[in-house]
Amino acid sequence: MSIALLDIGLRHFLLVSLVVFALGLYCVLTRKNAIGILMGVELILNSANINYIAFSHFSSGRYDGQIFAIFVIMLAAAEAVIGLAIVLGIYQNFATIDVEATDNLQG
């Protein structure tokens, strides 16, 4: 166990998580590329994972946080599959994956 590690507390983890979330959110909101948006979503999910593990570690010390994190990873994988399938579908229909171009649902 290194001392530096001992110094690192919950707060640090949350900070990292916040950064990753912010980056993800920024990515989601600004990207025009659908795959980029998906990547932003992955970042958001992972920031949530960090939170889960951190909170779990610093509160109960049991593994429920980790379990949730693994669940989220699995969910992210599934979501990526569907997301990429949608992207492929969009590409087939519009010959682009620019989300600005696909506004057919406009009212």
Partner 1 sequence: MEHPFEVSYLRWIVLLPLLGAVVNGILGATLQKRFGKNAISLIACSVVGVAFLCAVAAFLHILRLGPEHRFLLDTLVAPWIHIGDLKVDIAFWVDPLSAVMILIVTGIGGLIHVYSIGYMHDDESYWRFFTFLNLFTAAMLTLVLGDNLLLLFVGWEGVGLCSYALIGFWYKEHANTTAGNKAFIVNRIGDAGFTLGIFTIFWGLNSAGHGTTPVFRELVPVAHYLQTVSVWGIPAATLAALFLFIGATGKSAQIPLYVWLPDAMAGPTPVSALIHAATMVTAGVYMMARMHFVFSLAPVAMNVVATVGALTAIFAATIGLAQNDIKRVLAYSTVSQLGYMVLGVGVGAYAAAIFHLLTHAFFKACLFLGSGSVIHAMGGEQDMRKMGGLREKMPYTFMTFFISTLAIAGLPPLSGFFSKDEILWKTFSGGHPFLWLLGFAGAGMTAFYMFRQVFMTFFGESRADHHTQHHLHESPPVMTYPLIILATGAVLAGFLGVPAALGGSNRFEQWLEPVLVGGHGHAAHVTEHAVESLEYLLMIASVGIAVAGILLAYQMYYRKTLSPEVFSSAGGGAFYDLVYNKYYIDEIYQATFVRGTLALCWLGANFDLYVIDYLVNGAARLTAFIAWLNGWFDNLVIDGLVNAIADGIFAIGNRLRQIQTGSINVYLYVIVGAVAAAQFLPRLSSEMLMPVLIAVVIALAVVGVLALLSARRPLWRPPILRGDAPEPH
Q: What are phi and psi of 99, to 5 degrees?
A: -70, -20
**Binder to partner 1 among 4, 5, 6, 105 (CB under 8 A)?**
105
- Figure out which of the listed residues 25, 35, 70, 80 binds partner 1, where binding follows CB under 8 A: 25
The least CB distance from residue 88 to partner 1, in Å, is 16
Residue 39 binding partner 1, by CB under 8 A: no
5 binds partner 1 (CB under 8 A): no
Q: How many residues bind partner 1 (CB under 8 A)?
A: 13
Closer by beta carbon to partner 1, 2 or else 106: 106
DSSP secondary structure string for all residues of 2-66: -HHHHH--HHHHHHHHHHHHHHHHHHHHH--BHHHHHHHHHHHHHHHHHHHHHHHHHTT-SSHHH
